[in-house]
Structure 1
């Protein structure tokens, strides 16, 4: 009997203990959940007052680009000019379309205040063509804004409103970000002011997306939609760790699919400081055209694995030539940092000021060598000069899409330029481009005139292929052509 009683007591103790510890575990779980919720709430209270809505007025150079179709291609509405990578511009209110006249339209996006005197960071594509900029605060106040400076290479811009004691956000250190970390995105998607979404850092250092010239994107799954462009990506301390810039979207619907990209705050800080001080951004420049090292090239150059950046061309009189670098050299390290891809090296150099001395380790004729380069200045016309031969070397001629040509080709509502001839043996010919094809965009920018076609090709950054969106027959596809 005593043994039976003892057994019951032990069993009762076990049940009570299990209930107690089970409840404690449940309380702990609830506590963690409540804490995270409080963190999000704290970020919202801190950040929302400093996030602004930006409305712009601009004059469209070609009224034929304005269409009542909200999905139509437009350089301000869809910066990337395709259905995959899109900036988040809100739908534009439009005036009645009158042929051959400049039309005033309105666009909407986001930004955030970074100083109490009204300095605001947003995207360059938001304000690049603006004739008027209206900033609306979360409390309803409206201010006219002026552009302090723009940096197309990173797609960042700084604007300012007059006043004092504005709520503002601090720029954090994006280098401290870790994959899997909670982040918060705030902006004005579809004109819905102060919308907050939550996600995690999906990846860091995304590049080679061909969105802008200098890429080092933070990838996040925090829900972002049209109108969020220029808004902040924040950590749970409420510090800005990124500037929301682009999304990947569904090819058919254009809807969000869980992939967004933000410019790191450290890059934004660098651009902000230079624009506030000089009104422009100065960057280091090597004066080379880089080529990715694939498995075949690695074997040919005697590398154990595909790494580094191959110098496809060294410009005369450049910093690289002055340091003794030659075509065919493979840069493996800069300041003892490994070169894992082209974009990483390009970004690192671009973030350094001119005259910075950089130690480069490179492979030549199977031997490792070192040299110190004093960086030059990345001039505003360096891109155009570097690709002056691009339009000529493609071996392709285009003409405007007239009503007669459109009718003959069976084109209904498409806009673009028509291929009138293709040189035999040219790069365009090898890529499969044929006479009569309709070129819809060049480097993800809609094209409607031969002049635009040539200009967009010239503006292609050195070392990057020209990206065409082409319609041939019933098939629409992208074609990438390396110049030369």
Structure 2
């Protein structure tokens, strides 16, 4: 009996020492150290944390978040009547915003502050400030504000690439003018494409309750890190039914820092046109169901210079898996021109890897005719046997999309030669609205045509 008791004590002691050794030597090694993402940190960032278990307490994250989320009131000056010269201040709408630095930078949605003549920001402690608009990016629905204050509570940007489906998140905002509201849910999906004309097209979907007034508010993980800006809901009633969408923090952070440093958004592109591999018809003989099939490679682009070809299937960008086109758009949207991205592809059944330097995306929308154009490369002009012109990138209306004019070169507008998109912008700014507009094209086959829009 004594021998059995001795063995029992030894077994218990061994178990305790083993557990202690595991916690001491193994658990600490389970922390992920994130590699440099290529985005310079002009705003407070936490890029190393991983989601923790579902037993975590939400109170700390909630307390940090409510003090960093503000109420944004959009006030516009309007006339009292069509026959009066007097004006009055009218509340156009309200929303939320997130303080991202101690000196008063605030990120919100562009639609929250659109057309405002005055913006009032109310903190969680009921202090009011007038806000200045630093910059906006309507295509991403992101705006950056600034208030004159110091030592504010703020939320650091987290790494939205690390967010996982099923992870607990909090939505913090001011729905229905109910200030400092916190709701909880999980990440339901990532890289969700809502079919919007947006630079993002890769939203985080959550089932945390989000309602009108939450726009511009914070989506945070249970570590209190900002992983998204709540932007949209899908609902037949206009209120919460379980589907809410947020701009990923990596994209929002990049846009904010572009606005601070450059005054506008610097968008980089790979230089490919593609389609989801799963959507290809059978005659393509592609057995891969996940990835982006490269249909065309832009001449002179980073992808072309790196050696990517039509027929390649992109499966990873850096260490991020690419299952569908919105994955690719979302990741590239967090990068800038001249950033280098490692692109992994499958070519003829074999994996290959290329380092692609992103090029700058410069476009101009000719809304009068429903077309978007960009600068044409020297090689593209030589192929069409022309010396100047801009290239059509896409149609802005269903009619123009059906025309399939991608790659067509516009050499003149109203009989004035165009050499770049600045020429196009200048011509369109000087012409009178409503006048007929003539456009001279050179098709990919080299045929010259002229059309007049009335």
TM-score range, shorter chain: 0.5 to 0.7
Aligned partner of 1:272 in structure 2 is 256
Cα displacement string for residues 319-364 of structure 1 (whole angstroms, at most 9, x for unaligned residues): 3334454555443444475531112122222322222333444466
Question: What SS class does the counterpart of residue 225 from structure 1 fall into?
Answer: coil
What does 1:406-421 correspond to in 2, within 5 Å? Answer: none
Question: What SS class does the counterpart of residue 254 from structure 1 fall into?
Answer: coil
2:275 corresponds to 1:257: no
Stretch deviating more after TM superposition (237-246 or 318-327)? 318-327
Stretch deviating more after TM superposition (114-123 or 270-279)? 270-279
Question: In the alignment, is the contact (CA less than 8 A) between 1:315 and 1:321 conserved in 2?
Answer: yes
1:380 CA drift (Å): 4.8
Distance in 2 between the 1:336 and 1:167 partners?
33
Question: What SS class does the counterpart of residue 243 from structure 2 fall into?
Answer: strand
What does 1:382-421 correspond to in 2, within 5 Å? Answer: 384-385=372-373, 387=392, 390=395, 394=399
1:309 CA drift (Å): 2.1
Q: 1:246 aligns with which of 220, 232, 257?
A: 232
Q: 2:199 aligns with which of 213, 234, 239?
A: 213
Q: 1:318 aligns with which of 279, 301, 304?
A: 301
Question: What SS class does the counterpart of residue 241 from structure 2 fall into?
Answer: strand
Aligned partner of 1:115 in structure 2 is 101
Distance in 2 between the 1:392 and 1:202 partners?
32
Question: In the alignment, is the contact (CA less than 8 A) between 1:295 and 1:305 conserved in 2?
Answer: no
Distance in 2 between the 1:260 and 1:287 partners?
31
TM-score normalised by structure 2 residue count? 0.62
Question: In the alignment, is the contact (CA less than 8 A) between 1:358 and 1:372 conserved in 2?
Answer: yes
1:123 CA drift (Å): 1.3
Question: What SS class does the counterpart of residue 238 from structure 2 fall into?
Answer: coil
Aligned partner of 2:31 in structure 1 is none
Question: In the alignment, is the contact (CA less than 8 A) between 1:95 and 1:105 conserved in 2?
Answer: no
Aligned partner of 1:55 in structure 2 is 73
- Structure 2: give runs of 5+ residues left out of the alignment: 1-53, 366-370, 375-391, 405-432, 435-454
Question: What SS class does the counterpart of residue 242 from structure 2 fall into?
Answer: strand
Distance in 1 between the 2:66 and 2:186 partners?
19
Distance in 1 between the 2:154 and 2:351 partners?
50
- Structure 1: give runs of 5+ residues left out of the alignment: 1-35, 60-93, 397-424, 428-450, 453-484
RMSD: 3.8
Q: 1:178 aligns with which of 158, 164, 171?
A: 164
Aligned partner of 2:135 in structure 1 is 149
Cα displacement string for residues 190-235 of structure 1 (whole angstroms, at most 9, x for unaligned residues): 2222222222222233235436322332221111100100111223
What does 1:424-463 correspond to in 2, within 5 Å? Answer: none
Cα displacement string for residues 223-252 of structure 1 (whole angstroms, at most 9, x for unaligned residues): 110010011122333332221111111x2x
Question: In the alignment, is the contact (CA less than 8 A) between 1:289 and 1:314 conserved in 2?
Answer: yes
Aligned partner of 1:377 in structure 2 is 360
Aligned partner of 1:228 in structure 2 is 214
Distance 1:358 1:193, change over 3 A: closer
Distance 1:227 1:97, change over 3 A: farther
Question: In the alignment, is the contact (CA less than 8 A) between 2:192 and 2:326 conserved in 1?
Answer: no
Question: In the alignment, is the contact (CA less than 8 A) between 1:128 and 1:150 conserved in 2?
Answer: no
Distance in 2 between the 1:272 and 1:389 partners?
27
Distance in 2 between the 1:333 and 1:41 partners?
37
Distance in 1 between the 2:177 and 2:55 partners?
26
Question: In the alignment, is the contact (CA less than 8 A) between 1:287 and 1:318 conserved in 2?
Answer: yes
2:112 corresponds to 1:126: yes
Distance 1:160 1:290, change over 3 A: same
Cα displacement string for residues 352-411 of structure 1 (whole angstroms, at most 9, x for unaligned residues): 222233344446677766544322112253892165662698279xxxxxxxxxxxxxxx
TM-score normalised by structure 1 residue count? 0.59
Question: What SS class does the counterpart of residue 384 from structure 1 fall into?
Answer: strand
Distance in 1 between the 2:126 and 2:113 partners?
21
Aligned partner of 1:31 in structure 2 is none
Question: What SS class does the counterpart of residue 307 from structure 1 fall into?
Answer: coil
Aligned residues: 330
2:355 corresponds to 1:350: no
Stretch deviating more after TM superposition (321-330 or 387-396)? 387-396
Distance in 2 between the 1:166 and 1:302 partners?
57
Question: In the alignment, is the contact (CA less than 8 A) between 2:251 and 2:333 conserved in 1?
Answer: no
